């Protein structure tokens, strides 16, 4: 990787063009992801959020344009090199038939040799990742036997074990109840504070994005409709326009919170 200055974006997308079949989703798309913070990406269904993460990690290849990790073009990195710098947690985290410890160890494959034989360092890193994710005592449990929240933590520990500078999380709170959703997002923020680096998280829940993310990007129809802090976006009214809702802000003893109400017919 090239030398990186503090002002260099963690990820830069320049003039991206990508679509499915004959339908273009991105055409001349530009975006900078800031270093060292948690960035949330929100937007209506079909706005390109998950596709963007897959382009960032190399699972999808743009038809035109360029993606850079820091100052290095993504296209110039091998799969193994890319995995050392960017880790992706997909939306569909299935109940695989392996132990939590084995799942987390799979995050170390990009650092291991051809036979994927774990070293003592790998073991220590995986143990630390499980501890950070709150999985103490569950290492030998089958992933399939875990609750939804525990499973999300197991996959998050796998991503942490990869020791990449940038984490991409695609809807880590999907299918979780409200308590588990807040636990996962608090964990994401706590890890971000401890490890530094950069975290990008796609969320459907506007409240979680505004509450936990330092920087929020609002997507609409394959473009960036707006970006900024939670207060900036809520005060500007852009979220209400994009999602077709009224937003009411309240200051509470626990911080600022937002309520969302449907627009009246014809509003």
Q: What confidence tens digit (pLDDT) does each residue in 73-85 have? A: 999 998 888 888 8
Is residue 42's pLDDT more than 80? yes
pLDDT for the residue numbered 6: 58
**Residue 4 reports pLDDT greater than 70:** no
Instruction: Using pLDDT thresholds of 50, 70 and 90, give the confidence band for residue 2.
Output: very low
**pLDDT recorded at residue 95:** 67
Nearest to 130 by CA among 159, 110, 109: 159
The pTM of the full predicted model, rounded to 2 decimals, is 0.89
> Token pair 């309240």 is at which residue?
250
Instruction: Quick: pLDDT tens for 191-212.
Output: 888 888 899 999 999 999 999 9
Res. 35: pLDDT tops 60 = yes
Q: Where is pLDDT greater, at 265 or 161?
A: 161
Q: What is the pLDDT of residues 5-21, one digit of tens each?
A: 557 899 999 999 999 98
Question: Going from the N-terminus, what domains does the chain have, and what CATH number goes with each?
Answer: 11-262 (3.40.50.300)
Cα distance between residue 159 and residue 265, in whole Å? 44
**Distant-in-sequence, close-in-space partners of 221: CB < 8 Å, separation ≥ 6:** 47
Read off the tokens for 229: 């802090």
Q: DSSP state, 99?
A: B
CA 122 – CA 109 distance, rounded (Å): 9
In this predicted model, what pLDDT tens digit does every residue of 207-222 receive, in sequence order? Answer: 999 999 999 999 999 9
Q: Which residues of 154-179 are buried (b: 16+ CB within 10 A; e: fewer)?
A: bbbbbbbbbbbbbbbbbbbbbebeee
Q: Does residue 181 have a pLDDT over 50?
A: yes
Phi, psi for residue 94 in degrees, rounded to 5? -75, 165
What mean pLDDT comes out for the span 170-181?
86
The string of pLDDT tens digits covering residues 235-264 is 778 888 899 888 888 888 887 888 888 876
Bridge partners, 170 (sequence order): 202
Average pLDDT, the chain: 88
Give 50's contacts (C-beta < 8 A, 6+ positions apart).
91, 170, 171, 202
Q: For strand 166-170 and strand 86-89, is the pairing parallel, antiparallel, or unpaired?
A: parallel
Query: Does the structure show a pLDDT above 50 at 141?
Result: yes
Partner residues linked to 88 by β-bridges: 168
Tokens coding 217: 């990007």
């Amino acid at each position: 990787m090239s030398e990186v200055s503090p002002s260099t974006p963690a990820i830069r997308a320049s003039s991206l063009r990508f679509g499915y079949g004959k339908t273009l989703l991105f055409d001349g798309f530009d975006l900078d992801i800031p270093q060292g913070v948690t960035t949330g990406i929100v937007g209506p269904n079909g706005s390109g959020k998950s596709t963007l993460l897959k382009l960032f990690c190399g699972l999808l290849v743009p038809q035109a344009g360029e993606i850079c990790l820091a100052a290095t073009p993504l296209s110039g990195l091998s799969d193994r090199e890319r995995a050392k710098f960017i880790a992706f947690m997909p939306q569909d985290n299935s109940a695989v038939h392996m132990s939590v410890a084995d799942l987390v160890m799979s995050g170390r494959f990009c650092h291991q040799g051809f036979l994927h034989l774990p070293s003592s360092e790998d073991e220590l890193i995986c143990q630390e990742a499980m501890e950070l994710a709150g999985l103490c005592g569950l290492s030998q449990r089958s992933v399939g036997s875990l609750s939804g929240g525990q499973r999300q933590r197991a996959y998050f520990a796998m991503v942490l074990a990869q020791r990449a500078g940038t984490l991409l999380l695609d809807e880590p709170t999907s299918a979780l109840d409200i308590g588990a959703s807040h636990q996962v997002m608090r964990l994401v923020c706590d890890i971000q504070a401890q490890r530094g680096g950069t975290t990008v998280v796609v969320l459907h829940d506007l409240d979680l994005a505004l509450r936990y993310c330092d920087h929020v990007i609002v997507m609409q129809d394959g473009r960036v409709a707006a970006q900024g802090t939670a207060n900036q976006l809520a005060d500007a009214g852009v979220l209400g326009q994009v999602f077709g809702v009224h937003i009411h802000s309240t200051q509470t003893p626990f911080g600022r919170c937002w309520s969302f109400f449907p627009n009246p017919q014809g509003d």
